[in-house]
Amino acid sequence: MSLQEWIGESSERIRRNGWDGVKMSAREFYVEGRRRVVRRTLRSVPGPDGTNVFEKDWDVLVLLDCARPDLFADISGDYDFLDDSNTLTSVGSSSSEWIANTFVDEYEEEMAETIYVTANSHSPEIKNQDWLKDIKEVWRYGWDGRERTVLPRTVTDRAISVGRNREFDRLIVHYMQPHAPFVGYDDTIAGGGMTPPDVERDGVTFGKALRMGHISRREAWEAHVQNLEYVLEDVALLRENIAADTFVVSADHGQALGERFVYSHPDGMPLNVLREVPWIVTDATDTGSHDPDVSTTEPRASEDVDEKLRALGYRT
């Protein structure tokens, strides 16, 4: 944000909110200044060497977007498949960076036998999509306009269908949750809730709402935990309806909630909360207990990648 933009926003905020607007603008000025300094400093520091997931052993790899390992400590549900929990250093601190550093020439042979089922609308950034055995961009046809994200069941149904009807060596299943919007969050914040992130709080993203103090870190943490529980219900369903000797639950990157003045998950950040992800190894058996609904398979004419990225907080 430029100084002129900040002055304009601050003037409007003060006009609407009086003294509260003054305090909000002062906080933004301080936090934004510190955040920019820290981000410049961190991006000049070499990040940790990440491990490409194609170097690991798995048949089905489930990616939970923004799933920090420590979120799992607050999970209240009974998910016995989470017992064998370890961590992995991701190759990126954002989805874009993870994609750029995962689907690379070195793993062309592995990609040729891999199907990627994804709710993440950064998938067009894969430089060599034709190297994949197949890619199912669920976000193109499974977007929920009311929740402004892709709901887990849409991804689960497509993954089960692929697992039962296609031949492959490896399957990546990329859910959007616990990434905002927080459709699994059972409370509201100041009468509006935290979703969708680009229209709440006068049009700011989730990260900006957090650093501006519109929502507290505790509220943000609880929303992530509940959104994680929400998606884990579908991960459990997938695990009971797909066959895999090695079924791994992981994430593309973590999430920063103000650590060192970093919020959300910007590119190039060598922070543990962004680069350390869960690596939970279990197995899966197709019990045939769920009949997937894959009736909607074609992108709608109104599809707009930028619109979807804005809804997920990647655009303003």
Give the per-residue pLDDT at 308.
56
Query: What gap in Å lies between CA 26 and CA 20, rounded to an integer?
Result: 10
Q: Which among 99, 90, 98 has a CA at the least distance from the CA of 48? A: 90
Residue 25, CA distances (Å) to 39, 41, 194, 215 in order:
21, 24, 20, 15
Q: Is the pLDDT of residue 79 over 60?
A: yes
Distance of alpha carbon 254 from the chain centroid: 8
Backbone angles phi, psi at 177, to 5 degrees: -75, 150
Which residues, in sequence order, are bridge partners of residue 85? 280
CA distance 112 to 133: 5
Phi, psi of 221 (to 5 degrees): -65, -50
The mean pLDDT value for 50-76 works out to 95
Alpha carbon distance 300, 141 (integer Å): 6
Mean pLDDT of 19-24: 62
CB 111 within 8 A of CB 170: no
* Average pLDDT estimate for 51-77: 94
Q: Do residues 226 and 181 make contact, with C-beta atoms less than 8 angstroms apart?
A: no
Q: What angle do CA 298, 300, 301 make, to 5 degrees?
A: 125
User: pLDDT for 291-316, tens place per residue?
Assistant: 999 876 555 444 566 665 555 555 44
- Mean per-residue pLDDT, 242-263: 94
DSSP 12-36: HHHHHHTHHHHHHHHHHHHHHHHHH
Report how far residue 245's alpha carbon sits from residue 243's, in angstroms, rounded to the nearest whole number: 7
Q: Which of 230, 278, 226, 253 has the alpha carbon at shortest distance from 70? A: 278
- What percentage of the chain carries pLDDT values higher than 90? 54
Residues 178/65, Cβ–Cβ less than 8 Å:
yes
What SS3 class is residue 86?
Answer: strand
pLDDT at 309: 55
Q: What is the mean pLDDT of residues 197-207?
A: 54
- Bridge partners, residue 137, by sequence: 118
Written as one letter, the residue type at 42 is: L
The confidence band for 210, taking pLDDT boundaries of 50, 70 and 90, is: confident
157: three-class secondary structure by DSSP: helix
- Asked if residue 189 has pLDDT above 50, the reply is no
282 vs 27: CA distance, rounded Å? 45
Which pLDDT does position 119 carry in this prediction? Answer: 97
Q: How many residues does the chain have?
A: 316
Q: Count Cβ atoms below 10 Å from residue 315 Cβ, excluding itself.
A: 13
Strands (E), the chain: 60-65, 85-89, 114-118, 134-137, 143-144, 149-150, 170-178, 244-250, 256-257, 263-264, 276-284
The region of weakest confidence among 73-82, 152-161, 203-212 is 203-212
pLDDT category, 113, cuts 50, 70, 90? very high
- Residue 269: the pLDDT is 87
**Sorting pLDDT into bands at 50, 70 and 90, what band is 191?**
very low
The confidence band for 200, taking pLDDT boundaries of 50, 70 and 90, is very low
Q: What confidence tens digit (pLDDT) does each residue in 215-239 have?
A: 888 989 998 999 999 999 999 999 9
Q: Which two tokens stand for residue 121?
A: 């609308």
pLDDT over 50 at 75, yes or no: yes
Q: What is the C-alpha to C-alpha distance for residues 187 and 148, in angstroms, rounded to an integer?
A: 18
Sign (positive/negative) of CA torsion 104, 107, 112, 114?
Answer: negative
pLDDT digits (tens, 9 = 90+) for 116-142: 999 999 999 999 899 999 999 999 999
- Please check whether residue 250 is in contact with residue 88, taking contact to mean a CB–CB distance below 8 angstroms: yes
* pLDDT-derived band at 207, boundaries 50, 70, 90: confident
Mean pLDDT is lowest, of 104-113, 177-186, 296-305, for: 296-305
